[in-house]
């Protein structure tokens, strides 16, 4: 186990870096996912088509392919950013498709009569969505969106291979490869790092779920 | 109906597979001698492998010139040829070698687990690794260098890196070069890490990074493939002796490998010239003096 204890500082810096990637990607994918979900249920046909295309393309592409397009495709057409930006943006795009579908499931769970009643009293689509549907839909969406976000935390290990580097998983590879520590203890240390992130996210979700629960 | 169609498809695939297997008789590598009646002291690794008539060798599958697996089944390159020389001395022909892909980060592990009998995989000898396994060799001395775009005049060696803090340097996570370049950098942010060197070359090509650094022989492969887009700059600034990894403490096997290489210098040169030596400007190396086995 000295592989971990001797390198706690490396693990810590890797943990912080991974945590940073996760938090940025979480904020980005929640906002973007909610927006695309709104597109998918909007009365404007072209927005609906855009939302559907977005989900179908990104949900059906392997994450590595999305990241490849970000890290190596965008520079080809002249968009230059840091690999950190590309990595987080790739995660956001990919995860937004899943977040969108989870939120849309929540929207569909709101009885149609709610939307009809809101329309009947003269609310616009935006008011209807913002004040009537979403508040109910988001409550139902908490568990599935939470699962998607936790899956995304684990996916964040992949961006290390696209120039981001120094994240938790890369630290593990560094220790096993350049410094010759054996695999099992090093990867156990990495796993513990990810568990700290995902388990505390799970706990937070549980609290959130109880807070927003409604009786129907 | 569906079942017969499935069987037909399976038959076609099997046929295609066997046709593909026919086409790969000549792999372009050298043909090291296979000793017919190899005799070894009982109980040694050599006796065991020779008796068994086959062995498993770990090498890289993604390293042009050293170990690269193409569409054929067997990888090709200098490491592969060196492994064939050693296997040949134990009476094992190349058909009886099983190749196992061993990227940098699992090499010690597969030796300890006994998954492979030896690892020949651009494997730099260093102290940390030598605590877990035994190195035979070295059979080649590489050195770290820098590769930049041909029109880059700002960076002419590792000492220019700290002076250009905006310049990004690319290498591979967990590689020795990525560790050794750190002392030349102004900050850690200068270092961009990928999992394979191909990505570094792509990133250099589209301007995302300014420098790629690793062992000269790997860079030379990229330079020769780039049609003049990349160039090497500066001198080799590290020593990277490549060794052959075997089970920790197997001194007899280690000494046997060293002796075999010494006895087969012609095959060694031929192995180089048929693989890594084909890169433009590559000098044929002399077999380095073996280090003592421990």
Segments in chain B below pLDDT 70: 1-31, 280-281
Q: Which residues of A touch B132 (CB under 8 A)?
A: 180, 182
Assign A50 a pLDDT band (cuts: 50, 70, 90): very high
Contact criterion met (CB < 8 Å) for A71 and B170 = no
Closest residue in A to B106 (Cα–Cα):
A177
- Mean pLDDT (whole number) for A94-99: 96
Percent of chain A with pLDDT over 90: 62
Burial of A73 (0-12, 13-18, 19+ CB in 10 A): middle
Question: Residue B105, preceding bond cis, omega within 30 degrees?
Answer: no
Q: Which residues of A touch B199 (CB under 8 A)?
A: 71-72, 162-163
Determine the Cα–Cα distance for residues B110 and B119; give it in Å rounded to an integer.
9
What is the number of H-type helices and E-type strands within chain B? 10, 13
Give pTM, 2 decimals: 0.75
Residue B291's Cβ-side half-sphere holds a number of Cα atoms within 13 Å equal to 16
Contact criterion met (CB < 8 Å) for A180 and B126 = yes
pLDDT value of residue B226 = 84
Determine the Cα–Cα distance for residues A201 and A147; give it in Å rounded to an integer.
10
CA distances to A210, B80, B100, B110, B243 from B58, rounded to whole Å, are 54, 9, 5, 8, 13
Q: Which of A53-62, A96-105, A118-127, B275-284 shows the lowest per-residue confidence on average (mean pLDDT)? A: B275-284
Determine the Cα–Cα distance for residues B57 and B40; give it in Å rounded to an integer.
20
Contact criterion met (CB < 8 Å) for A83 and B208 = yes
**SS3 of B146, please?**
strand
pLDDT value of residue A117 = 94
Contact criterion met (CB < 8 Å) for A177 and B105 = yes
**SS3 of B76, please?**
strand
Instruction: Determine the length of chain A.
Output: 216
Strand arrangement of the beta sheet that strand B75-76 belongs to: B62-63, B67-69, B75-76
pLDDT value of residue A216 = 58
Closest residue in A to B131 (Cα–Cα):
A180
Residue A83 has pLDDT above 60, yes or no: yes
Contact criterion met (CB < 8 Å) for B208 and A178 = no
Residue with tokens 């890169």: B279
Contact criterion met (CB < 8 Å) for B126 and A182 = no
Contact criterion met (CB < 8 Å) for A182 and B202 = no
**Residues of chain B with a CB closer than 8 angstroms to some CB in chain A:** 104-106, 108-109, 112, 126, 128-129, 131-132, 170, 173-176, 178-179, 188, 191-195, 199, 202-203, 206-208
CB B110 within 8 A of CB B58: yes
Contact criterion met (CB < 8 Å) for B203 and A183 = no
* B194 Cα to chain A: minimum distance (Å): 5
Contact criterion met (CB < 8 Å) for B208 and A173 = no
Q: Which residues of A touch B108 (CB under 8 A)?
A: 176, 180, 182
Rounded to two decimals, the ipTM of the complex is 0.72
Q: Which residues of A touch B115 (CB under 8 A)?
A: none
Q: Which residues of B touch A173 (CB under 8 A)?
A: 105, 173-174, 195
In total, the C-beta contacts within 8 angstroms joining chain A to chain B are 80
Contact criterion met (CB < 8 Å) for B175 and A160 = no
Contact criterion met (CB < 8 Å) for A166 and B108 = no
Residues sharing a CB contact under 8 Å with residue B129, sequence separation 6 or more, in sequence order: A180, B107, B108, B123, B135, B245
Closest CA to B260 of B13, B4, B10, B49: B49
Which of the pair, A133 or A165, is modelled with greater confidence? A133
pLDDT value of residue B70 = 79
Closest CA to A17 of A64, A87, A75: A87
Scanning chain B, the segments in alpha helix (DSSP H) are 2-22, 45-52, 78-89, 107-113, 127-130, 176-180, 197-205, 216-225, 251-263, 265-274
Of A71, A170, A176, the CB nearest to B193: A170
* B104 Cα to chain A: minimum distance (Å): 6
pLDDT value of residue A191 = 92
pLDDT value of residue B293 = 87
Closest residue in A to B179 (Cα–Cα):
A178
Q: Which residues of B touch A180 (CB under 8 A)?
A: 108, 126, 128-129, 131-132
Contact criterion met (CB < 8 Å) for A163 and B192 = yes
Q: Which residues of A touch B195 (CB under 8 A)?
A: 160-161, 173
Percent of chain A with pLDDT over 70: 99
């Amino acid at each position: 186990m000295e592989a971990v204890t001797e390198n706690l500082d490396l693990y810590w810096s890797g943990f912080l870096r991974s945590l940073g990637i996760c938090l940025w990607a979480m904020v980005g994918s929640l906002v973007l996912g909610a927006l695309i979900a709104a597109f998918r249920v909007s009365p404007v046909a072209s927005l609906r088509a855009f939302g559907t295309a977005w989900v179908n393309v990104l949900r059906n592409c392997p994450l590595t392919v999305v990241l490849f397009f970000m890290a190596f495709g965008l520079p080809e057409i002249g968009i230059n950013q840091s690999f950190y930006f590309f990595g987080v943006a790739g995660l956001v795009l990919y995860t937004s498709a899943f977040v969108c579908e989870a939120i849309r499931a929540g929207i569909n769970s709101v009885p149609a009569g709610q939307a009809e009643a809101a329309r009947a009293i003269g609310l616009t689509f935006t008011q209807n969505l913002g004040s009537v549907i979403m508040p109910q839909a988001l409550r139902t969406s908490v568990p599935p969106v939470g699962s998607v976000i936790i899956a995304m935390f684990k996916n964040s290990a992949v961006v290390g291979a696209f120039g981001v580097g120094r994240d938790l998983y890369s630290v593990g590879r560094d220790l096993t490869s350049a410094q010759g520590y054996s695999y099992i203890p090093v990867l156990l240390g990495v796993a513990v790092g990810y568990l700290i992130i995902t388990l505390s996210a799970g706990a937070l979700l549980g609290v959130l779920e109880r807070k927003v629960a409604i009786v129907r | 109906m569906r079942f017969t169609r499935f069987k037909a498809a399976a038959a076609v695939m099997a046929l295609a597979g066997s046709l593909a297997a026919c086409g790969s008789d000549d792999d372009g590598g050298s043909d090291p001698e296979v000793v017919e009646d190899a005799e070894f002291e009982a109980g040694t690794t050599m006796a065991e492998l020779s008796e068994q008539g086959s062995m498993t060798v770990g090498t890289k599958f993604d390293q042009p010139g050293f170990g690269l697996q193409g569409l054929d089944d067997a990888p090709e390159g200098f490491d592969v040829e060196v492994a064939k020389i050693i296997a040949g001395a134990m009476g094992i022909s190349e058909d009886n070698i099983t190749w196992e892909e061993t990227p940098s980060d699992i090499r010690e592990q597969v030796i300890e687990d006994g998954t492979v009998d030896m690892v020949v995989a651009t494997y730099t000898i260093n102290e940390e690794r030598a605590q877990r396994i035994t190195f035979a060799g070295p059979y080649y001395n590489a050195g770290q260098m820098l590769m930049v775009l041909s029109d880059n005049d700002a960076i002419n060696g590792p000492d220019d890196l700290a002076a250009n803090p905006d310049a990004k340097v690319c290498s591979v996570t967990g590689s020795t070069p990525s560790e050794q370049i750190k002392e030349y950098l102004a900050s850690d942010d200068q270092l961009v890490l990928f999992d394979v060197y191909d990505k570094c070359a792509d990133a250099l090509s589209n301007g995302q990074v300014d420098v790629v650094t690793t062992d000269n022989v790997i860079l030379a492969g990229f330079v020769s493939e780039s049609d003049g887009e990349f160039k090497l700059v500066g001198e080799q600034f590290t020593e990277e002796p490549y060794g052959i990894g075997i089970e920790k403490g197997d001194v007899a096997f280690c000494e046997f490998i060293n002796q075999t290489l010494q006895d087969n210098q012609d095959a060694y040169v031929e192995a180089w010239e048929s693989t890594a030596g084909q890169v433009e400007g590559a000098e044929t190396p002399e077999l380095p003096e073996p280090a003592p086995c421990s």
